[in-house]
Amino acid sequence: MENLDVTVLRSLQGWRTQGRRALLATVVRTWGSSPRPVGSVMALCENGAVVGSVSGGCIEDDLIYRYSRAHQPAPGTSATPGITHDIPQGPPERVKYGVSADEAHRFGLPCGGTLELVLEFNPDAASLAELVQSLSEGHLVERRTELATGRVELRAAATPAALAEDGQWLSNTFGPEYRMLLIGAGQLTEYLSTMALFCGFAVTVCDPREEYRSAWAVPNVTLLTEMPDDVVRAFHVDRRTCVIALTHDPKLDDLALLEALETEAFYVGAIGSRRNNEARHARMIEHFDQTPQSLARLRGPIGIYIGSKTPAEIAVSVMAEVLAVKNAVPLPRDMAVAHAKNTLSETMPPSAPTCFSPS
């Protein structure tokens, strides 16, 4: 499952290549609460087809009504004033939703929410094809639109950037999918990879053990058989990649994790209990000349504490932490698995069971 922005742009390119009219809507400004963040995009075809989202659905419905032939007035009836029912030619336009309390209610915006869109009409098919091709090849691309004319420039980008708009140019940086490399093809990996796919990650699983690979059943996941540390070295790990070890086997996990720590991966972690995590750090310090400082980025036990017991629940816990780190959301310390379990173990009576999930 590819990145949603890439899906939107690919669909838009397909429509324009077929000669259909279409528009690209981009959220450029929000005030108060808003359903979708700045930079979100949506494509609308003249036949009413929509890919992507700029709200919870009500604004999409209004755009479909205004610019889709699916809502063309019947012959002999009068059109609503100000409604075009077709996608026009011409430069980009700005539209605002939710300026008044009545509009906010009508369009399903939260109380006080307002958002501003830039609508680009009939973007150039060749430019879209070039952009989609670059994204498919794993490149990060800045797309700049001249607001007075609709002219588009594409530039290679070195780092992800927030949407920028100065009244003359609208600049939105698009990137390839986030990637998740999972070491070990066990049951937990099946749940976590499934969740990652639905969150837009491209997922690769590495396991040299035939007995685990033979039962693998998750589609749309790349399955590799080489040793994990070799896979990490060849994976071209970047800041849009996370590496997670799930085997509990130091022979498979440790070297791969050390390789990952030498990269720009935004998340590096390993499954295991607090005791296993402490033993892993001790091994790496004793045998691989690591220090507490060099291991500071290595997460473990991984996940946020939700009392998880089953593999599915543990996968939810881990996926939530990965997304929080990806989205630069700081998690309170008491949500960390290790801290939560330490607190619980200190407050439990000695006779109480101490059976916790391995995350």
**Same structural domain, 264 and 223:** yes
Give a yes or no: residue 56 inside a domain.
Answer: yes
Could you give the number of structural domains in the chain?
2
The pair phi, psi for residue 67, each rounded to 5°, is -120, 15
Q: Which helix (H) or strand (E) covers residue 269, if one does?
A: strand 267-270
pLDDT tens profile 202-225: 899 999 999 999 889 899 899 999
Say if CB 9 and CB 174 are below 8 A apart: yes
Tens digit of each residue's pLDDT (9 = 90 or more) over 269-312: 999 999 999 999 999 999 999 999 999 999 999 999 998 889 99
Q: Which of 149, 174, 199 is the last residue of a domain?
A: 174
In a domain, 354, yes or no: no
Q: What's the mean per-residue pLDDT of the chain?
A: 86
Mean pLDDT, residues 256-270: 96
CATH of the domain at 193: 3.40.50.720
Same domain, 67 and 129: yes
The answer as to whether 357 is a domain residue is: no
Burial of 25 (0-12, 13-18, 19+ CB in 10 A): buried
* Euclidean distance between CA atoms 170 and 10, whole angstroms: 20
In a domain, 314, yes or no: yes
- Three-state SS string over 317-333 comes to HHHHHHHHHHCCCCCCH
**Domain final residue, candidates 146, 174, 202:** 174
Residues 162 and 211 in one domain: no
In a domain, 32, yes or no: yes
Instruction: Give a yes or no: residue 353 inside a domain.
Output: no
Whether the model pTM is above 0.75: no
The angle at the Cα of 305, spanning 303 to 310, to the nearest 5 degrees, equals 80
- For the segment 103-126, the average pLDDT, to the nearest whole number, is 79
Same domain membership, residue 184 and residue 167:
no
The answer to whether residue 147 sits within a structural domain is: yes
The HSE-up count of residue 172 (CA atoms within 13 Å, CB side) is 22
Q: Is residue 356 part of a domain?
A: no
- Asked, as a colleague might, if the bond just before 301 is cis with ω within 30 of 0, I would say yes
Q: What would the pLDDT profile of 126-162 be if each residue is shown by its tens digit?
A: 999 999 999 887 788 999 999 999 999 999 988 778 8
Structural domain for 303, as ranges: 179-347
Domain boundary among 124, 155, 174: 174
Are 190 and 129 in a shared domain?
no
Q: Is pLDDT larger for residue 109 or for residue 223?
A: 223
How deeply is 95 buried, as exposed, middle or buried, from its count of CB atoms within 10 A (0-12, 13-18, 19+)? middle
Confidence at 351, pLDDT banded by 50, 70, 90: very low
Please check whether residues 147 and 277 belong to one and the same domain: no
Instruction: Please give the pLDDT value at position 349.
Output: 54
